[in-house]
């Protein structure tokens, strides 16, 4: 009897084994009105492949097991398997995030243009660099972005700044992990990147929250960016998080200077139906507790600063609207929620040299430590001995410490500069460093060379203050890292040749060479003779 | 007589470099340098064009692969009769028997390792490499031969539409997709038992075909797959006309397979129509509902349509295991058809000790067919390479191309000399792979867009202006030298 029962249980387990889905999908949208009247929206689509683990790079030589997915994006999953990527972060952003007015973003990676970084296990059979190359080419094909140009000249490994956000598996044979990071600030983000992005979602843009992602509206936003994040959560499995952020301006189309918005006015759509694949689908709307806007329809859960709509159990179509009674008054001062603010410039007007300048303001009344990362293409060459930090015009040697510097190699490797900065309370620090702009080869210039080169943003990460240890800057662990702050990108003007005249140059040079050759040759072979003039005839 | 020079001036003819010898050596040294630098210039600016083994390619391209099949017949008397029937058939079916050559041997003349054995039996069935046929009925001997012929060399027309079979590749990717037209409308299929379906229906076939191809499998479930057209609506049902089937795949919106590798993909799609288009049927050209629920796109894959019952609550359910099995059975039939596996002739059964699906006869016939195709393909590709290289003077031929061509030729040689069918097949596959790799080598396109005219346009401004003084000086010196000689001779005469 017991045996029969056990057999029955076992067989039911076996039969319904596949029905118990090991993949979950959840989607959420967070809408936050910003102090400057704009509205920030963050879409987040989370797929978890439960119980899965990243591919062991040692198994790359043998054929991979078959991949069967229900919700997990197959095209992305195969790329991750093919190149044995443990953790991957790709962001494509347009515009520069205004930290002063908008505070920290929901998704941290907001550097202008494209940024890709990945943690990969090391194995002799296929080197990390080969797999990194394959990965960026595969992603370039998948997202229709120029990620293929994130080559060796842009790849760095700043492992003091980009810590793994998930966990790294411990494979047999003590496989180490390596970081590869590259950014392409001149990448433009547009519809051709959003379409493949939406194809990775189980419900595409046809149902659920993703149906709000209307390219006509989201690419009209003041700032917009998308991200793909793949992490290993340990036992819980592999997570793919697809994010889309935008900052929209309801005041732009408002006639009466009210900040009113609705899903319909922001995205041109309302949510018509549920995504059948989503296990949870939520819209969060936050607002500051001092203001009291009206929200329709009535939310299910409400706290003093946030309301939540459970989209799966709400009457459709769902069109959330927020309305204010009072006109919007533009604030004269923005109270920054960030501990520091930073301005980065490139000074100097010549095409041969210049000066990098950072102005760092510490808003807090406590000293602030931060990690400063600067990655530059090889043609920007730093003079490290000219790196000075000044406060009120006085050079201060105690501000910069723990410098790690990987010098550039011409035509191949970029510069990586990492340092720890210690800013005194309520101070303004000026950081300057001289640099040279190298002379590029004719073929190394990008199309439209006269526009100049976009330089990647610097990254600053405030370190949480550790009161127990005064000199703890050497211990850089993940727990001390705050949220990164990306500076704006820079545009550098390097010496550009006149591309329209190579043939003229050839002709000109050839003529000169021929002229010199002719004169020398003539001198060597000319016959000199003495002419005798008849003096009598001369007299006549 | 010219008056002597003043003492302050030097006679220029006494300067050392004004002597004829020095001047002439200056000019000749210029010319020597130019002559010596010409080979260097030629070497640095010419395109590397290694010579291809053309004679060998031509000789191999003319050879014809004929695969011998040794058949051992149980009875000594029947074998010559079968051979006679074959000889008579050969005369009016010469095209069919162009690539395969069966030899019938009696028991006493049997080779040590014959391909097949024919034994006597009341009902035809095959087991391993044996076939049981009624041998002693003289009137049925002709139909017995037909059964054998269909097994060894299935008629191309019988296996139908040659272009339906996918091009040969050593590796295929099988992409299975459960595609809901619109799962948000409810009553769709949220999951299927892909593992059971593969294990029961697909994997046994793949295991048997492993000597021919390697397979990788991937699968996914999609919740939204809009059609690019709207199907015909008749009252309660909806239909796909034969024209609709040709444009059924909406490749712009459905990502049916990953692009992780360059292997050819064979697609298998289970399409679940939305409740608005349900039930969806395939229509015949006359407009009637066809009993078939699936169709095949040549060389692309197959599509099966399943109309699940409409759930009152509008939920999405998993696929019932019985239907799951039916669908994977359909997929397995389509897979065989796409890979060109011939079916057994009518009335012949397959008896196997284990539960293998394909008999050895079918796999062998497929191997023979693929070997012949591959050999022809490799020969044609090699000839195309030779023609192309001869036609375009600026096309570089580098070591890798030459190596691939050599490798393809070596593999062809092995194909022609190999004895066992597996060896013939293996080397023919290698030959066609290497030949097409050589043909598609990206290095052959490098200089097509930089013709020789550009080179001359760059060189003439330099060469014309520099070489003219050299020529003039050389001609002048030669003229002076000849005049001197003539004067010398005249002086001697005087």
Contacts of A19 in chain B (CB under 8 A): 191, 318
Quick one: how far is CA B376 from the chain centroid? 10
Q: Among all residues of chain B, which has the CA nearest to that of A79?
A: B260
pLDDT at residue A501, as a whole number: 75
- Alpha carbon distance A321, A323 (integer Å): 7
The percentage of residues in chain B with a pLDDT greater than 70, rounded to a whole number, is 96
Shortest Cα distance, chain B CAs vs residue A64, angstroms: 8
pLDDT tens column, A453-476: 999 999 999 988 655 555 544 455
Determine, for residues B223 and A274 on separate chains, whether the beta-carbon distance falls below 8 Å.
no
User: What's the complex ipTM?
Assistant: 0.84
CB-closest option in A18, A63, A528 to B193: A18
Between positions 284 and 343 of B, the ones with CB within 8 A of A are: 316, 318, 321
In the structure, what pLDDT confidence band is assigned to residue B330 with cuts at 50, 70 and 90?
A: very high
pLDDT score at A515 = 86
> What pLDDT digit, counting tens, does each position of B43-79 carry?
887 778 888 999 999 999 999 988 989 888 888 888 8
Q: Which of B12, B195, B226 has the CB atom closest to A529's CB atom?
A: B12
Tokens 């200056």 -> residue: B26
A to B CB pairs, distance under 8 Å: 143
Interchain CB distance below 8 Å, B465 and A15 = no
Could you give the CA distance from residue A174 to residue A58 in angstroms, rounded to a whole number? 11
List the single residue in A with minimal CA-CA distance to B17: A524
> pLDDT tens digit string along A442-458?
888 888 888 899 999 99
User: How distant is the Cα of A258 from the closest Cα of chain B, in angstroms?
Assistant: 36
Optimal mutation site among B193, B461, B474, B478, interface A, most CBs of chain A within 10 A: B461
Q: CA angle A419-A425-A426, nearest 5°?
A: 110
**Confidence label for B257 from pLDDT (cuts 50, 70 and 90):** confident
Greater pLDDT, B142 or B416: B416
Across the interface, which of A276, A506, A518 has its CB nearest the CB of B458? A506
Per CB-CB distance under 8 Å, the chain B contacts of A64 are 216
pLDDT at A518: 85
Average pLDDT over all residues of chain B: 87
Q: What is the mean pLDDT of chain A?
A: 87
pLDDT number for residue B129: 82
Long-range contacts, A496-503 (Cβ 8 Å, 24+): A496/A445, A496/A449, A496/A450, A497/A442, A497/A445, A499/A445, A499/A449, A502/A442, A503/B457
Contact B221 A70 (CB under 8 A): yes
For residues A274 and B463, the model is more confident at A274
Chain B residues 437-476 with a CB less than 8 Å from chain A: 457-458, 461-462, 465-466, 469-470, 473
Tell me the pLDDT band of A477, cut-offs 50, 70 and 90. low
- pLDDT tens, position by position, B164-181: 889 999 999 999 999 999
Across B264-275, average pLDDT = 94
Give the minimum alpha-carbon distance from B427 to chain A in angstroms, rounded to a whole number. 23
Query: Residue A10: which pLDDT band, with cuts at 50, 70 and 90?
Result: very low
Average pLDDT on B278-287 reads 90
Instruction: Judge residue A64's burial from the number of C-beta atoms within 10 Å of its C-beta, 0-12 exposed, 13-18 middle, 19 or more buried.
Output: middle
What is the average per-residue pLDDT within A252-258? 85
pLDDT at A15 exceeding the cut of 60: no
Chain B residues 252-271 with a CB less than 8 Å from chain A: 253, 255, 257-261
Q: Return left, alpha or beta for B270; rule: phi > 0 is left, psi -120 to 50 is alpha, else beta.
A: beta
Q: How confident is the model at residue A7 (pLDDT cuts 50, 70, 90)?
A: very low
Report chain B residues whose CB lies below 8 A from the CB of A522.
Answer: 469
HSE on the CB side for B82, CA within 13 Å? 30
Out of A202, A515, A517, whose CB is closest to B223?
A202
| A520 and B CB contact within 8 Å | no
Query: Are residues B184 and A70, on separate chains, in Cβ contact within 8 Å?
Result: no
pLDDT digits (tens, 9 = 90+) for A413-425: 999 999 999 999 9
User: What is the chain B residue with the closest CA to A527?
Assistant: B18
Would an 8 Å CB–CB cutoff place B20 in contact with chain A? no
8 Å CB contact between A405 and A459: no
Q: A288: closest CA among A331, A246, A254?
A: A331
Query: What is the percentage of chain A residues whose pLDDT exceeds 90?
Result: 59
What pLDDT is stored for residue A3 in this prediction?
44
Query: Per-residue pLDDT for A432 more than 90?
Result: yes
Note the pLDDT tens digit of each residue in A25-63: 999 999 999 988 999 999 999 999 998 888 988 888 888
pLDDT band at A202 (very low <50, low <70, confident <90, very high): very high
Angle of helix B360-391 relative to helix B54-62, nearest 10 degrees? 140
Q: Which of residues 34-63 of A touch B (CB under 8 A)?
A: 63
Please, which pLDDT band fits residue A524 given cuts at 50, 70 and 90?
Answer: confident
pLDDT band at residue A522 using 50, 70 and 90 as cut-offs: confident
**Count H helices, E strands: chain A?**
9, 26
pLDDT at B469 over 90: no
> What confidence score (pLDDT) does residue A360 get?
95
Mean pLDDT to the nearest integer, B300-326: 90
A142 interaction partners in chain B (CB closer than 8 Å): 259
Mean pLDDT throughout A144-173? 89
**474-493 in A: which are within 8 Å (CB) of B?**
none
* A518/B contact by beta carbon, under 8 A: yes
Residues in chain A with CB shorter than 8 Å from the CB of B219 are 66-69, 74
Q: Which residues of chain A lie closer than 8 angstroms to B193, CB-CB?
A: 18
B73-85 burial, b at 16+ Cβ within 10 Å, e below that, comes to bbeeebbebbbeb
Residue B320 has pLDDT above 60, yes or no: yes
Among the ranges B64-68, B155-159, B213-217, which has the highest mean pLDDT value?
B213-217
How close is the nearest chain A Cα to the Cα of B223, in Å?
6
Which residues make Cβ contacts (< 8 Å) with residue A383, sequence separation at least 6? A433, A434, A435, A436
Residue A473 in tokens:
């800057």
**Euclidean distance between CA atoms A266 and A205, whole angstroms:** 16
Go through A18-45 and write b for each residue having 16 or more CB atoms within 10 A of its CB, e for each that does not.
Answer: beebebbbbbbbbbbbbbbbbbbbbbbb
- pLDDT for position A4: 46
DSSP letter (8 states) at residue A354: E
Instruction: Give A204's contacts in chain B (Cβ within 8 Å).
Output: 223-224, 253
A394 phi, psi to nearest 5 deg: -100, 135
Of B6 and B30, the structure prediction assigns the larger pLDDT to: B30
Q: Which residues of B touch A71 (CB under 8 A)?
A: 221
Q: Which segment, A269-283, B21-35, B147-161, is predicted with the most confidence on average?
A: A269-283
The pLDDT value given to residue A504:
81
Nearest to B218 among A67, A207, A518 (CB): A67
Q: What is the pLDDT of residue A11?
A: 39
pLDDT of residue B448: 56
Task: Check if A439 contacts B (Cβ < 8 Å).
Answer: no
Comparing alpha-carbon positions, the chain A residue that sits nearest to B203 is A66
Is some CB atom of chain B closer than 8 A to the CB atom of A116?
Answer: no
Which pair of structure tokens corresponds to residue A360?
A: 């760092």
Q: What value does the mean pLDDT take over residues A184-211?
A: 92
**CB proximity A381 to B under 8 Å:** no
pLDDT at B193: 93
């Amino acid at each position: 009897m017991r045996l029969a029962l056990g057999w029955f249980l076992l067989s039911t387990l076996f039969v319904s084994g596949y029905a118990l889905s090991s993949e979950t999908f959840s989607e959420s949208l967070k809408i936050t009105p910003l102090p400057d009247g704009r509205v920030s929206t963050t879409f987040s689509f989370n797929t978890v492949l439960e119980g899965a683990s990243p591919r062991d790079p040692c198994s790359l030589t043998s054929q991979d097991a078959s991949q069967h997915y229900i919700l997990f994006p197959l095209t992305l999953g195969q790329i991750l398997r093919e190149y044995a990527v443990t953790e991957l972060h790709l962001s494509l952003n347009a515009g520069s995030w205004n930290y002063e007015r908008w505070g920290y973003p929901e998704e941290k990676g907001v550097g202008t243009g494209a940024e890709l970084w990945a943690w990969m296990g090391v194995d002799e059979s296929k080197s990390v660099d080969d797999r990194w190359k394959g990965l960026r080419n595969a992603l370039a094909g998948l997202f229709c972005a120029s990620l293929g140009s994130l080559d060796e000249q842009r790849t760095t490994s700043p492992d003091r700044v980009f810590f793994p956000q998930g966990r790294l598996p411990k494979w047999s044979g003590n496989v180490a992990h390596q970081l590869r990071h590259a950014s392409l600030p001149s990448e433009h983000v547009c519809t051709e990147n959003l379409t493949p992005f939406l194809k990775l979602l189980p419900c595409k843009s046809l149902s659920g929250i993703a149906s709000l992602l209307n390219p006509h509206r989201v690419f009209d936003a003041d700032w917009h960016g998308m991200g793909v994040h793949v992490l290993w959560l340990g036992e819980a499995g592999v997570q793919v998080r697809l994010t889309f952020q935008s900052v929209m301006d309801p005041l732009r189309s408002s006639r009466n200077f009210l900040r009113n918005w609705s899903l319909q006015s922001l995205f041109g759509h309302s949510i018509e139906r549920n995504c059948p694949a989503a296990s949870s689908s939520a819209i969060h709307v936050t607002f500051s507790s001092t203001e009291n806007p009206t929200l329709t329809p009535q939310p299910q859960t409400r706290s003093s600063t946030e309301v939540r709509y459970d989209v799966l159990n709400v009457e459709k179509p769902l069109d959330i609207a927020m309305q204010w009674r009072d006109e919007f008054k533009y604030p004269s001062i923005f109270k920054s929620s960030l501990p520091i603010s930073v301005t980065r410039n490139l000074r100097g007007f010549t095409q041969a040299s210049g000066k990098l300048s950072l102005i760092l303001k510490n808003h807090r009344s406590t000293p602030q430590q931060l990690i400063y990362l600067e990655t530059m293409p090889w043609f920007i060459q730093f003079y490290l001995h000219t790196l000075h930090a000044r406060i009120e015009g006085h050079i201060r040697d105690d501000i910069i410490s723990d410098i790690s510097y990987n010098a550039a190699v011409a035509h191949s490797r970029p510069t990586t500069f990492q340092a720890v900065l210690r800013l005194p309370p309520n101070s303004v620090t000026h950081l300057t460093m001289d640099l040279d702009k190298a002379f590029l080869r004719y073929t190394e210039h990008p199309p439209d060379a006269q526009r100049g080169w976009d330089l990647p943003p610097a990254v600053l990460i405030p370190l949480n203050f550790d009161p127990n240890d005064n000199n703890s800057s050497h211990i850089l662990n993940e727990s001390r890292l705050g949220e990164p702050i990306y500076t704006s990108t820079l545009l550098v003007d390097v010496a550009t040749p006149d591309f329209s005249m190579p043939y003229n140059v050839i002709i000109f040079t050839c003529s000169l060479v021929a002229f010199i050759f002719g004169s020398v040759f003539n001198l060597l072979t000319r016959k000199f003779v003495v002419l005798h003039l008849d003096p009598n005839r001369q007299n006549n | 007589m010219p008056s002597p020079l003043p003492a302050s001036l030097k006679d220029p003819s006494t300067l050392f470099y004004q002597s004829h010898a020095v001047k002439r050596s200056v000019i000749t040294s210029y010319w020597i340098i130019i002559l010596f630098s010409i080979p260097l210039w030629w070497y640095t600016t010419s395109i590397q064009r290694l010579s291809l083994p053309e004679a060998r390619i031509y000789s191999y391209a003319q050879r014809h692969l004929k695969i011998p099949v040794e058949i051992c017949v149980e009875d000594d008397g029947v074998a010559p009769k079968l051979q006679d029937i074959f000889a008579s058939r050969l005369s009016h079916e010469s095209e069919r028997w162009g690539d395969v050559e069966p030899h019938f041997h009696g028991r006493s003349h049997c080779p040590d390792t014959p391909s097949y054995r024919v034994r006597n039996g009341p009902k035809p069935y095959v087991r391993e490499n044996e076939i049981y046929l009624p041998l002693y009925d003289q009137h049925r001997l002709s139909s017995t031969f037909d059964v054998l012929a269909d097994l060894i060399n299935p008629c191309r027309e019988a296996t139908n539409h040659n272009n339906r079979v996918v091009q040969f590749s050593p590796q295929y990717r099988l992409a299975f997709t459960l595609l809901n037209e619109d799962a948000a409308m409810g009553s769709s299929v949220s999951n299927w038992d892909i593992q059971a379906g593969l294990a029961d229906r697909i994997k046994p076939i793949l295991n048997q075909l492993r000597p021919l191809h390697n397979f990788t499998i991937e699968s996914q479930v999609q919740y939204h797959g809009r059609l690019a057209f709207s199907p015909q609506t008749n009252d309660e049902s909806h239909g796909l006309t034969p024209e609709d089937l040709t444009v059924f795949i909406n490749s712009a919106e459905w990502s049916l397979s990953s692009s992780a590798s360059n292997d050819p993909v064979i697609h298998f799609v289970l399409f679940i129509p939305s409740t608005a288009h349900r039930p969806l049927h395939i229509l015949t050209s006359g407009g009637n509902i066809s009993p078939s629920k699936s169709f095949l796109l040549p060389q692309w894959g197959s599509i099966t349509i399943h109309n699940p019952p409409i759930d009152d609550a509008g939920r999405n359910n998993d696929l019932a295991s019985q239907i799951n099995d039916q669908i994977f059975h359909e997929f397995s039939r389509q897979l065989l058809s796409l890979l060109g596996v011939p079916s057994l002739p009518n009335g012949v059964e397959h008896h196997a000790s284990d539960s293998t699906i394909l008999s050895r006869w079918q796999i062998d016939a497929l191997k023979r067919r693929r070997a012949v195709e591959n050999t022809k393909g490799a020969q044609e590709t090699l000839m195309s390479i030779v023609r192309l290289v001869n036609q375009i003077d600026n096309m570089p031929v580098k070591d890798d191309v030459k190596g691939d061509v050599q490798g393809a030729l070596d593999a062809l040689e092995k194909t022609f000399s190999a004895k066992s069918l597996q060896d013939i097949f293996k080397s023919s596959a290698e030959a066609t792979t290497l030949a097409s790799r050589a043909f598609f080598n990206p290095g052959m396109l490098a200089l097509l867009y930089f013709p020789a005219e550009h080179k001359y346009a760059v060189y003439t401004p330099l060469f014309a202006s520099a070489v003219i003084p050299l020529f003039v000086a050389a001609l002048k010196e030669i003229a002076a030298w000849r005049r001197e000689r003539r004067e010398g001779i005249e002086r001697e005469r005087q």
